[in-house]
Amino acid sequence: MNRLDLTNVVLKRLHITLLIVAVWAVMLPMGLVAWRYPLGGNGLLSILAGYAFILWYWPAGWLAILPSVLLAVDLTPWTGWLLCDEADMVLAITVAIGYSRLAWTPPIHRLTPVAAPLLLLFSAAFLVSLTRGLWPLPVPDFNALTDYTNSYNGLRIAKGTLWALLLLPLLRRTLAENHAQRYLLSGLLIALIGVSAVVFWERLTFTGLLDFSSDYRATGPFSAMHTGGAALDGSLALLTPFAILWLLQARQLNYAILAVIIVGLSVYAIMAIFSRGLYLGFGLSVAIISVSALPGRRDSRKPLWQSLLLLSLLCLTAGLLFQVFATGGYRTLAAILALLISALFVGSLSRALLPGGSYLAIGFVACLASQWLLWQWLAKGAYWAFGLAAMIWIAGILIFGSKHRPVGVILGMVGFAGMVVGTGLVAWHWGGKPALISTLPAMGLALGLVILNFRLRVWRWERSTVLGAGLAVMIDLGRYWNAFNLLMPWYAQTNSVIFEVALCVMAYITVLWIEFWPAFLERMPLAVKKRFNLDKFQVFLRRYMYVFIALGVLLPTMHQSSLGSVLLIMGSKLSPLWYTQWLPLLFLISALAMGYGVVMLEATLVNRAFKTPSEARLFARLARVIAGLLAGYLQLRWG
């Protein structure tokens, strides 16, 4: 061995020795502190020793254990310790065991040329801030470490950043192991369950689960909340997106159900805190995750405008939900959110498993009759009616995972239909007609999700329906070639109520023609499409057509309701024979019935002109739908 090799060996051994000495120089004082623990030093030492044993034989275990300890375990109200608590001892064990094992292995990660100076600048700024917080350092006394107004409180604030810097190299090394990210996700989900469960128990104990009118604000498992702060807000904002991501990635039904429960518990905790900053952060995180989880988003070559478009649509949906909350309160909002979640599950069920329409009809009638009785007989029957439908839906989803899959499909669809009706009852019970009218577009969105995913046969007429709707609206406009004047500020009459109607008409005409574009693109020569990049546009339409279908349902629904609202304002100019406060809803129902009738007429003419097979069976199904809509219209108007 030459002198250079000998020097390297000596330096390596010296490095290992100094690292181990430094690590245990931190661990031994923590052991002495744990021995003086007010709630039982021997018990805490035993727990820490067991944790150290686990880490020695399972190095990645701290990813699953540490998040739950840091976020869900805080015994400061019982110990009185502020500067150093049980979490610091667990962190010390993690650092000591982790670096003791890393001392014998060569490094596999190094900071990039950009990350290294940034981390150095951050550390320098942190040290400057800590120095300013501690200076001037007073003479220590017995209350130096327990006073928030003392300069020594800077140490309590700084220890979180210090622990994070110490754990950063260990985290980078541990995440390189197999299944390490799965362990980290498990730890974060356990921490979220702990934080949300404490908030749930706190609300149940002091105010009640559904009492959102009191001034009481939950503090969760964080003792620092007694002086305010955002510990609870930050933990929920950081942890809840991981639960949503797990729900989107779930491949088995039992995991999906567990994820729904965790997300529901965390969303309840978020709603019960009444923090606008948390609401904004949660909404942004959900929007980002939803966009990133859409099909095809892993392709980095996708243009930015597609992401911006989808993000805008998510913001539109958020605005729709906000309108529901403004008129129907949190109960109606909770019902709508539950309905949208159930729509995602019901839409993924297989249509081939349905044994027949008669069973569905019997189930629908029984569910609706039970809901009607609950609504009529009980003081809060609307909530009981929605709860009954939700239980039927849950039973269907659970049974779907067993060998009785057709029964699960029937119960799931019956429960979903009952939840649609129950949502309307909750909106009516809470906010009356305005809440019900504001809730209808969101209910239509949920139905659209189910119809799109379930791929019902009615959608075979999609092109003819879109063409008929577009032509009908253009005829209704009259001189449609002057419609662009609305976009000219010097022509537009912004003070007119009809201005809003015209903008709505133009908006959903645009959506209708976008929906009709695939029919043109399929017959267009490939060379022409490639020359004008229409082939990429065709792929985009195929992938995201469901977004425009949802807009095509949402915009006319809101427009027809607004027409009825305009007539309510002009009530003095209407005949008493037709004036009623149900005009917005009646406009919407009549538009739906007329739309189905136009589709039937157009399909009949096309069948006769082009000698195509008759669609009599499908006509019969749509005729029953029209009859039901007209019966509901007559009941609302004259009942």
Phi and psi at residue 226, to the nearest 5°: -70, -15
Listed in sequence order, the DSSP H helices in 378-496 are 381-400, 405-454, 462-477
pLDDT at 465: 56
> Which has more pLDDT, 461 or 421?
421
User: CA separation (Å) from 73 to 50, 145, 222?
Assistant: 17, 21, 8
User: Per-residue pLDDT for 293 more than 60?
Assistant: no
| Helix (H/G/I), strand (E/B), else coil: 489 | coil
Between CA 142 and CA 75 the distance in angstroms is 21
User: Per-residue pLDDT for 281 more than 80?
Assistant: no
Task: Tell me, yes or no, if the pTM score tops 0.75.
Answer: no
Give the lowest-confidence range in 17-31, 161-175, 525-539. Answer: 17-31
Give the lowest-confidence range in 218-222, 512-516, 628-632. Answer: 512-516
> Which has more pLDDT, 119 or 136?
119
pLDDT at 201: 92
Residues in the chain: 639
> Which has more pLDDT, 51 or 179?
51
pLDDT at 535: 82
User: Per-residue pLDDT for 51 more than 60?
Assistant: yes
When pLDDT is averaged across residues 438-454 and rounded to a whole number, the result is 74
pLDDT digits (tens, 9 = 90+) for 161-173: 999 998 988 888 8
Between CA 390 and CA 342 the distance in angstroms is 9
pLDDT at 456: 45
User: Per-residue pLDDT for 460 more than 50?
Assistant: no
Residue 618: both structure tokens together: 């499908």
Give the lowest-confidence range in 159-163, 503-507, 574-578, 621-625. Answer: 574-578
pLDDT at 190: 92
pLDDT at 478: 58
Handedness of CA 599, 601, 603, 609 (dihedral sign): negative
User: Per-residue pLDDT for 12 more than 70?
Assistant: no
User: Per-residue pLDDT for 495 more than 70?
Assistant: yes
User: Per-residue pLDDT for 504 more than 80?
Assistant: no
Phi and psi at residue 145, to the nearest 5°: -100, 5
The candidate with the shortest Cα–Cα distance to 202, out of 217, 224, 213, is: 217
pLDDT at 138: 81
pLDDT at 196: 92
User: Per-residue pLDDT for 75 more than 80?
Assistant: yes
Give the pLDDT band of residue 310 (cuts 50, 70, 90). Answer: low
Mean pLDDT of the chain: 77
Between CA 323 and CA 346 the distance in angstroms is 25
